């Protein structure tokens, strides 16, 4: 049985149950989605979490009756009359927008719904389902439209598969970076600032800085040059790049002295202008420009989600200007860079997609074909499996998306490699070839981590907030048992700080067990317990989050141990 068809059919049964319980509820849409299904309702009374159990029980009654899903064709005019009679105004709107003269409806029992199908044979084939949550959703996703209530659910062919999935989402809830980010004091959002704009607290800013320092050093080692562009640019540059025509609705525009400006949504025009600032020779290529570039995009508030979808974020963005015969090799170098980086941060599995030309695009057919061929050939040379994502490329070129898989095997979009023949043409980029004539370079857009915000969200959820030692904002916490050992504790703190260890001293007047418990909640890798015995013997009692009590060590032994763990980036 096709899982998508099963889930779509289950969404119909859910709508049928809701209508039987709340006859005045109006129906929106109810598709299957990646992990389940949803249905949107316009109901005067808000649904409560307790209502989900009520709806589930009614669904079981419908399933038990084993109603057959019957498909019927109907003229549009007849369908409009039918759904007007049923007082289903959203269905009438959908029918009126259908270009064909006929529409299809499905009926099971006394429930009728507009639907293209397909469906399973009967309601009795639904064996395992669960309603999960309630959320708000604007009709057609447009903020000026009515707010509907969306009920999410999922369905599987067997109860065993359903229980496995429910266990997975329960574990995912424990790892939710939004909850852990607040608990660990990494970041917050504030309505006074605005939605989708992150406030980094000291620990979160430190974690981000560790990631930035690592990725910056890796770029320099691999032949990239650092550049830095302004956060605002005249709109003329975005007209030249094509973003003004293809991306304007996602940009923040404003005016200064009768000149229109935009806050940058991308870093590429700045890098292009650096390249174009002087005459280039083929001997210089490839040129690789790198920037930790902060960009801003006008995302709808309804799609914002913690660090994963924000309005202001920073990318480890680079653009490579190269010769045609260098393109494949440069793509392979980027792929190697991505894989190496994912492994260092503890991600050992990933998937690959190639996204092809979208309907709205710039450039000619020959260049698009060459760009797609270069990306695919590079993947073949690396023996990497990939899927084709038709029509989902950038407006200026096709792309490779590398999606990391976390500890729960969930995919996160981070790394991207785009092959671009179009923007070098639009900006008239050239280099002087071996023949003394001007030629056009090829441009690769690429990110390794992608959005630092999204990558941090993925890291937090992957490690459930318990960062490995080399990434931990606080690597060890010194816990003096009493004020009598505070002076020795401060001496240890100074020595650790001098040796580059990120350390905190808990000098609160609290019980030892509470201090230990608080350090565990904060997921600090090591605790140094100092009592009068340790102070007198100038030793340390070490407790590891992973291993528990590790016994007594000298300061030198402890520093050697954690220095080795940090350098080897033990996970």
The catalytic residues are 268, 297, 315, 317, 319, 399, 445
CA distances from 466 to 189, 310, 504 (A): 22, 24, 16
Q: DSSP characters for 396-435?
A: TB-EEEEEEE-TT--EEEEEEEEEESHHHHHTT--EE-TT
- CA 51, 57, 58, 63 dihedral sign is positive
Rounded Cα distance between 29 and 39, Å, is: 6
Angle ∠(430,434,438) on CA atoms, nearest 5: 25
Q: What H or E segment, with its residue span, contains residue 167?
A: helix 159-174
CA distances from 468 to 166, 179, 186, 230, 430 (A): 28, 19, 16, 35, 46
Rounded Cα distance between 38 and 154, Å, is: 8
Rounded Cα distance between 215 and 393, Å, is: 26
- Provide the β-strand partners of residue 389: 355
Residue 471: left if φ>0, alpha if ψ -120 to 50, beta else—which one? alpha
Q: Please, where are the H alpha helices in 463-569?
A: 486-498, 512-521, 532-537, 555-567
Rounded Cα distance between 259 and 96, Å, is: 43
Angle ∠(360,293,235) on CA atoms, nearest 5: 50
């Amino acid at each position: 049985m096709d899982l998508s068809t099963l889930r779509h059919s289950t969404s119909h049964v859910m709508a049928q149950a809701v209508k039987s319980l709340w006859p005045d509820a109006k129906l929106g849409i109810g598709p299957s989605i990646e992990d389940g299904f949803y249905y949107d309702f316009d109901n005067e009374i808000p649904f409560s979490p307790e209502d989900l159990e009520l709806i589930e029980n009614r669904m079981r009654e419908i399933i038990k009756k084993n109603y057959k899903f019957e498909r019927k064709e109907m003229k549009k005019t007849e369908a409009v009359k039918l759904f007007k009679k049923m007082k289903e105004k959203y269905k009438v709107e959908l029918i009126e927008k259908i270009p064909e003269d006929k529409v299809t409806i499905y009926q099971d029992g006394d429930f009728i719904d507009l639907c293209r199908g397909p469906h399973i044979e009967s309601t009795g084939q639904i064996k395992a389902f669960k309603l999960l949550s309630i959320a708000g959703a604007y009709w057609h996703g447009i903020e000026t439209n009515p707010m509907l209530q969306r009920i999410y659910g999922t369905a599987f062919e067997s109860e065993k598969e359903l229980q496995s999935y429910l266990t997975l989402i329960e574990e995912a809830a424990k790892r939710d970076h939004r909850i852990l980010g607040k608990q660990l004091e990494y970041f917050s959002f504030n309505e006074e600032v605005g939605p989708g704009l992150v406030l980094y607290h000291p620990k979160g800013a430190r974690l981000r800085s560790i990631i930035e320092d690592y990725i910056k050093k890796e770029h320099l080692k691999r032949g990239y040059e650092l550049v830095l562009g302004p956060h605002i640019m005249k709109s003329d540059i975005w007209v030249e790049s094509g973003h003004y025509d293809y991306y304007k609705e996602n940009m923040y525009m404003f005016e200064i002295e009768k000149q229109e400006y935009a806050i940058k949504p991308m870093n590429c025009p700045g890098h292009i202008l650096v390249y174009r600032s002087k005459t280039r020779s083929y001997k210089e290529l490839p040129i690789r420009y790198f920037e930790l570039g902060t960009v801003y995009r006008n995302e709808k508030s309804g799609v914002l989600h913690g660090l994963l979808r924000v309005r202001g974020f920073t990318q480890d963005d680079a653009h490579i200007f190269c010769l045609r015969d260098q393109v494949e090799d440069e793509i392979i170098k980027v792929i190697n860079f991505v894989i190496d980086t994912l492994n260092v941060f503890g991600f050992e599995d990933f998937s690959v997609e190639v996204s092809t030309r979208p309907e709205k695009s710039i450039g000619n057919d020959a260049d698009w074909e060459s760009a797609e061929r270069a990306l695919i050939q590079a993947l073949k040379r690396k023996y990497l499996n990939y899927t084709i994502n038709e029509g989902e490329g950038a407006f200026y070129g096709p792309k490779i998306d590398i999606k990391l898989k976390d500890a729960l095997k969930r995919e996160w979009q981070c790394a991207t490699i785009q092959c671009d023949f179009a923007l070098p043409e639009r900006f008239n980029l050239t280099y002087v070839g071996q023949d003394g004539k001007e030629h056009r370079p090829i441009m690769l857009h690429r990110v390794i981590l992608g959005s630092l915000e999204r990558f941090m969200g993925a890291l937090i959820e992957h490690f459930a907030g318990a960062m490995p030692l080399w990434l931990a904002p606080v690597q060890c916490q010194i816990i003096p048992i009493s004020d009598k050992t505070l002076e020795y504790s401060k001496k240890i703190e100074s020595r650790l700080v001098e040796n580059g260890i990120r350390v905190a001293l808990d000098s609160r007047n609290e019980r030892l067990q509470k201090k230990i418990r608080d350090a565990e909640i904060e997921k600090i890798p090591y605790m140094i317990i100092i009592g009068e015995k340790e102070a007198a013997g100038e030793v340390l009692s070490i407790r590891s989050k992973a291993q528990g009590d590790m016994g007594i060590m000298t300061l030198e032994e402890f520093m050697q141990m954690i220095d080795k763990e940090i350098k080897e980036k033990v996970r």
